[in-house]
Amino acid sequence: MKIPNSHPRYDSLMAREALVEGVKEGLVVRQGLIAHGRGEAFDYLIGEVSIEPAVEAECAAAGHLLRARHPVISVNGNVAALCANETVEAAKAVGATIEANIFHRTEQRVRKIVGRLKNAGAKEVLGLDPDARIEGLDHPRGLCAKNGIYSADVVLVPLEDGDRAQALKGMGKVVLTIDLNPLSRTSRISDVTIVDNVTRCMPSLARFASELRGDDERIDRILSEFDNKKNLTEVLKHIARRLAKLESVSFD
Ligand code: ATP
Ligand code: MG
Protein backbone atom coordinates (compact mmCIF):
# COMPACT_ATOMS: atom_id res chain seq x y z
CA MET A 1 0.00 0.00 0.00
CA LYS A 2 1.29 3.47 -0.89
CA ILE A 3 0.94 5.93 1.96
CA PRO A 4 1.43 9.62 1.04
CA ASN A 5 3.93 11.17 3.47
CA SER A 6 1.60 14.12 3.91
CA HIS A 7 -0.82 11.84 5.74
CA PRO A 8 -1.16 13.03 9.35
CA ARG A 9 -0.76 9.46 10.61
CA TYR A 10 2.11 8.62 8.25
CA ASP A 11 4.56 7.23 10.85
CA SER A 12 1.90 5.14 12.51
CA LEU A 13 0.64 3.75 9.19
CA MET A 14 4.18 2.95 8.06
CA ALA A 15 4.82 1.07 11.29
CA ARG A 16 1.68 -1.00 10.73
CA GLU A 17 2.79 -1.75 7.16
CA ALA A 18 6.22 -2.83 8.40
CA LEU A 19 4.65 -5.20 10.93
CA VAL A 20 2.15 -6.69 8.47
CA GLU A 21 5.04 -7.21 6.04
CA GLY A 22 6.96 -8.76 8.95
CA VAL A 23 4.15 -11.27 9.53
CA LYS A 24 4.17 -12.21 5.85
CA GLU A 25 7.93 -12.77 5.95
CA GLY A 26 7.73 -14.84 9.14
CA LEU A 27 9.65 -12.25 11.16
CA VAL A 28 6.74 -11.18 13.35
CA VAL A 29 4.13 -13.38 15.06
CA ARG A 30 0.46 -12.40 14.88
CA GLN A 31 0.49 -11.85 18.62
CA GLY A 32 3.08 -9.16 17.89
CA LEU A 33 0.42 -7.17 16.04
CA ILE A 34 -1.75 -7.18 19.15
CA ALA A 35 1.15 -6.12 21.35
CA HIS A 36 1.81 -3.28 18.91
CA GLY A 37 -1.82 -2.18 19.17
CA ARG A 38 -1.47 -1.88 22.94
CA GLY A 39 1.66 0.19 22.43
CA GLU A 40 -0.06 2.43 19.84
CA ALA A 41 -2.90 3.18 22.24
CA PHE A 42 -0.46 4.45 24.86
CA ASP A 43 1.49 6.38 22.23
CA TYR A 44 -1.76 8.13 21.25
CA LEU A 45 -2.34 9.12 24.88
CA ILE A 46 1.23 10.37 25.20
CA GLY A 47 0.99 12.45 21.99
CA GLU A 48 3.32 10.41 19.76
CA VAL A 49 6.42 12.36 20.78
CA SER A 50 9.37 11.65 23.07
CA ILE A 51 8.33 13.39 26.27
CA GLU A 52 10.79 14.78 28.85
CA PRO A 53 10.68 11.75 31.20
CA ALA A 54 11.41 9.50 28.20
CA VAL A 55 14.40 11.62 27.23
CA GLU A 56 15.70 11.42 30.82
CA ALA A 57 15.28 7.63 30.79
CA GLU A 58 17.07 7.42 27.44
CA CYS A 59 20.00 9.29 28.94
CA ALA A 60 20.09 6.98 31.95
CA ALA A 61 19.86 3.87 29.78
CA ALA A 62 22.70 5.12 27.57
CA GLY A 63 24.76 5.72 30.73
CA HIS A 64 24.13 2.20 32.04
CA LEU A 65 24.98 0.63 28.68
CA LEU A 66 28.22 2.63 28.38
CA ARG A 67 29.22 1.67 31.93
CA ALA A 68 28.41 -2.01 31.53
CA ARG A 69 31.08 -4.70 31.50
CA HIS A 70 28.96 -6.76 29.09
CA PRO A 71 25.90 -4.95 27.71
CA VAL A 72 23.41 -6.88 25.59
CA ILE A 73 20.47 -5.66 23.51
CA SER A 74 17.75 -8.26 23.06
CA VAL A 75 15.80 -8.06 19.80
CA ASN A 76 12.41 -9.61 19.06
CA GLY A 77 10.38 -9.78 15.84
CA ASN A 78 8.57 -6.45 16.30
CA VAL A 79 11.80 -4.57 16.99
CA ALA A 80 13.53 -6.17 13.99
CA ALA A 81 10.59 -5.29 11.71
CA LEU A 82 10.20 -1.73 13.00
CA CYS A 83 13.75 -0.49 13.42
CA ALA A 84 16.54 -2.94 12.61
CA ASN A 85 18.89 -0.22 11.30
CA GLU A 86 18.40 2.06 14.31
CA THR A 87 18.88 -0.85 16.72
CA VAL A 88 22.17 -1.84 15.10
CA GLU A 89 23.32 1.81 15.24
CA ALA A 90 22.40 2.03 18.93
CA ALA A 91 24.25 -1.22 19.68
CA LYS A 92 27.37 0.11 17.92
CA ALA A 93 27.17 3.42 19.76
CA VAL A 94 27.10 1.79 23.21
CA GLY A 95 29.29 -1.20 22.31
CA ALA A 96 26.58 -3.78 23.02
CA THR A 97 26.21 -7.35 21.82
CA ILE A 98 22.94 -8.06 19.99
CA GLU A 99 20.96 -11.21 20.72
CA ALA A 100 17.79 -12.28 18.90
CA ASN A 101 15.62 -13.51 21.73
CA ILE A 102 11.93 -14.14 21.33
CA PHE A 103 8.96 -15.13 23.40
CA HIS A 104 7.27 -17.33 20.76
CA ARG A 105 10.44 -19.15 19.79
CA THR A 106 10.99 -21.04 16.56
CA GLU A 107 14.40 -21.51 15.04
CA GLN A 108 13.15 -20.26 11.69
CA ARG A 109 11.96 -16.97 13.17
CA VAL A 110 15.21 -16.45 15.07
CA ARG A 111 17.03 -16.99 11.77
CA LYS A 112 14.87 -14.34 10.08
CA ILE A 113 15.55 -11.82 12.84
CA VAL A 114 19.29 -12.51 12.72
CA GLY A 115 19.19 -12.08 8.92
CA ARG A 116 17.36 -8.77 9.19
CA LEU A 117 19.87 -7.42 11.71
CA LYS A 118 22.84 -8.55 9.63
CA ASN A 119 21.35 -6.84 6.58
CA ALA A 120 21.12 -3.75 8.74
CA GLY A 121 24.88 -3.91 9.34
CA ALA A 122 25.30 -6.04 12.47
CA LYS A 123 28.57 -8.02 12.38
CA GLU A 124 27.49 -10.63 14.88
CA VAL A 125 24.05 -11.51 16.22
CA LEU A 126 23.64 -14.17 18.90
CA GLY A 127 20.56 -16.27 19.47
CA LEU A 128 20.65 -19.07 16.92
CA ASP A 129 22.44 -21.58 19.12
CA PRO A 130 21.14 -20.99 22.63
CA ASP A 131 23.35 -22.77 25.16
CA ALA A 132 22.02 -21.39 28.45
CA ARG A 133 18.75 -20.75 30.24
CA ILE A 134 17.28 -17.71 31.97
CA GLU A 135 16.64 -19.11 35.43
CA GLY A 136 13.01 -19.62 36.46
CA LEU A 137 11.45 -19.70 32.98
CA ASP A 138 10.09 -22.71 31.09
CA HIS A 139 12.19 -24.22 28.33
CA PRO A 140 11.57 -22.24 25.07
CA ARG A 141 11.11 -18.93 26.88
CA GLY A 142 14.22 -19.35 28.93
CA LEU A 143 16.63 -20.18 26.11
CA CYS A 144 19.45 -17.69 25.61
CA ALA A 145 23.14 -17.43 24.69
CA LYS A 146 25.76 -18.00 27.37
CA ASN A 147 28.00 -15.25 26.02
CA GLY A 148 24.96 -13.03 25.44
CA ILE A 149 22.00 -12.42 27.74
CA TYR A 150 23.06 -15.12 30.21
CA SER A 151 26.34 -13.45 31.16
CA ALA A 152 25.29 -9.82 30.58
CA ASP A 153 25.41 -7.40 33.49
CA VAL A 154 23.15 -4.86 31.74
CA VAL A 155 20.38 -5.92 29.34
CA LEU A 156 18.15 -3.75 27.19
CA VAL A 157 14.93 -5.69 26.58
CA PRO A 158 12.55 -3.62 24.42
CA LEU A 159 8.86 -4.69 24.32
CA GLU A 160 9.50 -7.41 26.87
CA ASP A 161 7.14 -9.70 28.70
CA GLY A 162 6.82 -9.13 32.44
CA ASP A 163 7.82 -12.64 33.50
CA ARG A 164 11.00 -12.58 31.49
CA ALA A 165 11.95 -9.13 32.74
CA GLN A 166 11.37 -10.35 36.30
CA ALA A 167 13.51 -13.44 35.71
CA LEU A 168 16.36 -11.29 34.36
CA LYS A 169 16.12 -9.07 37.46
CA GLY A 170 16.21 -12.24 39.54
CA MET A 171 19.56 -13.10 37.96
CA GLY A 172 20.93 -9.82 39.31
CA LYS A 173 21.08 -7.93 36.03
CA VAL A 174 20.40 -4.26 35.47
CA VAL A 175 17.26 -4.38 33.31
CA LEU A 176 16.49 -1.55 30.88
CA THR A 177 13.32 -1.61 28.83
CA ILE A 178 11.45 0.34 26.16
CA ASP A 179 7.71 0.07 26.74
CA LEU A 180 4.97 2.53 25.84
CA ASN A 181 2.78 1.16 28.64
CA PRO A 182 3.96 2.79 31.89
CA LEU A 183 1.73 0.37 33.82
CA SER A 184 3.06 -2.94 32.46
CA ARG A 185 4.82 -5.30 34.83
CA THR A 186 7.97 -4.92 32.75
CA SER A 187 7.81 -1.14 33.17
CA ARG A 188 7.29 -1.44 36.92
CA ILE A 189 10.13 -3.84 37.67
CA SER A 190 12.83 -2.56 35.32
CA ASP A 191 15.68 -0.37 36.57
CA VAL A 192 15.17 2.05 33.69
CA THR A 193 11.90 2.16 31.73
CA ILE A 194 11.87 4.27 28.60
CA VAL A 195 8.23 5.09 27.87
CA ASP A 196 8.73 5.92 24.22
CA ASN A 197 8.15 4.29 20.86
CA VAL A 198 11.05 1.96 20.09
CA THR A 199 11.35 3.70 16.70
CA ARG A 200 12.01 7.06 18.38
CA CYS A 201 14.03 5.61 21.22
CA MET A 202 16.79 3.75 19.33
CA PRO A 203 18.10 6.88 17.52
CA SER A 204 18.05 8.80 20.84
CA LEU A 205 20.04 6.07 22.56
CA ALA A 206 22.70 6.26 19.86
CA ARG A 207 22.82 10.06 20.10
CA PHE A 208 23.08 10.13 23.90
CA ALA A 209 25.72 7.41 23.86
CA SER A 210 28.01 9.47 21.62
CA GLU A 211 27.31 12.56 23.72
CA LEU A 212 28.06 10.82 27.04
CA ARG A 213 30.96 8.61 26.01
CA GLY A 214 34.00 9.58 28.08
CA ASP A 215 32.11 12.09 30.25
CA ASP A 216 32.25 10.02 33.44
CA GLU A 217 31.18 12.85 35.70
CA ARG A 218 27.99 13.43 33.74
CA ILE A 219 27.22 9.70 33.59
CA ASP A 220 27.69 9.47 37.38
CA ARG A 221 25.33 12.36 37.92
CA ILE A 222 22.67 10.99 35.53
CA LEU A 223 22.77 7.52 37.08
CA SER A 224 22.64 8.77 40.66
CA GLU A 225 19.76 11.18 39.97
CA PHE A 226 17.59 8.78 37.96
CA ASP A 227 14.62 7.31 39.83
CA ASN A 228 12.47 4.94 37.76
CA LYS A 229 9.36 5.10 39.97
CA LYS A 230 9.43 8.89 39.87
CA ASN A 231 9.96 8.85 36.12
CA LEU A 232 6.92 6.59 35.58
CA THR A 233 4.84 8.88 37.79
CA GLU A 234 5.88 11.82 35.58
CA VAL A 235 4.72 9.89 32.51
CA LEU A 236 1.31 9.20 34.10
CA LYS A 237 1.01 12.85 35.12
CA HIS A 238 1.76 13.88 31.53
CA ILE A 239 -1.04 11.61 30.26
CA ALA A 240 -3.43 12.84 32.97
CA ARG A 241 -2.69 16.49 32.10
CA ARG A 242 -3.36 15.84 28.41
CA LEU A 243 -6.66 14.13 29.18
CA ALA A 244 -7.68 16.91 31.54
CA LYS A 245 -7.11 19.42 28.73
CA LEU A 246 -9.22 17.35 26.34
CA GLU A 247 -12.12 17.38 28.78
CA SER A 248 -12.96 20.89 27.65
CA VAL A 249 -12.99 19.87 23.96
CA SER A 250 -16.41 19.39 22.40
CA PHE A 251 -16.83 16.32 20.21
CA ASP A 252 -20.14 17.21 18.57
P1 ATP B 1 3.78 -7.10 30.95
O2 ATP B 1 3.84 -8.61 30.82
O3 ATP B 1 5.09 -6.47 31.18
O4 ATP B 1 2.70 -6.59 31.89
P5 ATP B 1 2.20 -6.78 28.55
O6 ATP B 1 1.64 -8.15 28.77
O7 ATP B 1 1.33 -5.59 28.61
O8 ATP B 1 3.43 -6.54 29.49
P9 ATP B 1 3.65 -7.72 26.28
O10 ATP B 1 2.81 -8.16 25.14
O11 ATP B 1 4.24 -8.75 27.17
O12 ATP B 1 2.82 -6.69 27.13
O13 ATP B 1 4.79 -6.72 25.75
C14 ATP B 1 4.57 -5.73 24.81
C15 ATP B 1 4.71 -4.34 25.43
O16 ATP B 1 5.38 -3.53 24.50
C17 ATP B 1 3.35 -3.69 25.71
O18 ATP B 1 3.36 -3.17 27.02
C19 ATP B 1 3.25 -2.56 24.69
O20 ATP B 1 2.69 -1.39 25.26
C21 ATP B 1 4.70 -2.29 24.33
N22 ATP B 1 4.90 -1.88 22.92
C23 ATP B 1 4.32 -2.37 21.81
N24 ATP B 1 4.77 -1.76 20.71
C25 ATP B 1 5.68 -0.84 21.11
C26 ATP B 1 6.52 0.10 20.43
N27 ATP B 1 6.50 0.24 19.11
N28 ATP B 1 7.35 0.86 21.18
C29 ATP B 1 7.39 0.72 22.53
N30 ATP B 1 6.61 -0.13 23.23
C31 ATP B 1 5.77 -0.92 22.54
MG1 MG C 1 2.99 -9.83 29.17
Tens-digit pLDDT profile for residues 11-43: 999 999 999 999 999 999 999 999 999 999 999
Residue nearest to atom 19 of ligand 1 (CA): 39
Report the predicted TM-score, pTM, of the whole model to 2 decimal places.
0.96
Index of the ligand 1 atom closest to the CA of residue 181 = 20
CA of 238 to the centre of ligand 1 (A): 19
Strand ranges (DSSP E) for the chain? 71-75, 97-100, 125-126, 132-133, 143-144, 154-156, 174-178, 192-194
- Please give the radius of gyration of the chain, using alpha carbons only, rounded to the nearest integer: 18
1 neighbors 59 (Cβ within 8 angstroms): no
C-alpha 210/C-alpha 218 separation (Å) is 13
Q: Is the pLDDT of residue 156 over 80?
A: yes
CA of 39 to the centre of ligand 2 (A): 12
Tens-digit pLDDT profile for residues 69-127: 999 999 999 999 999 999 999 999 999 999 999 988 999 999 999 999 999 999 999 99
Residue nearest to atom 12 of ligand 1 (CA): 161
| Farthest CA pair distance, the chain | 59
Q: List Cβ neighbours of 243 (8 Å cut-off, separation of 6 or more).
A: 45
Residue nearest to atom 14 of ligand 1 (CA): 159
The amino acid present at 36, given as its one-letter code, is H
Residue nearest to atom 25 of ligand 1 (CA): 39
195 neighbors 176 (Cβ within 8 angstroms): no
CA of 37 to the centre of ligand 2 (A): 13
User: CB burial class (10 A; 0-12, 13-18, 19+) of residue 230?
Assistant: exposed
Q: Is the pLDDT of residue 251 over 80?
A: no
CA of 55 to the centre of ligand 2 (A): 24
Beta-ladder partners of 183: none
Report residues whose beta carbon is within 6 angstroms of any ligand 1 atom.
35-36, 38-39, 42, 82, 159, 161-162, 178-181, 184-186, 197-198
What's the pLDDT at 138? 87
Residue nearest to atom 15 of ligand 1 (CA): 159
Please state which of the ranges 109-118, 140-149, 212-221, 242-251 shows the lowest mean pLDDT. Answer: 242-251
Domains with residue ranges and CATH for the chain: 52-239 (3.40.50.12640)
Q: Concatenate the DSSP letters of all residues of 171-207 into one string.
A: TT-EEEEE-S-TTSHHHHHSSEEE-S-HHHHHHHHHH
**Among 46, 75, 163, 180, residue to substitute to test ligand 1 (most atoms within 8 Å of Cβ):** 180
H/E stretch holding 92 reads: helix 77-94
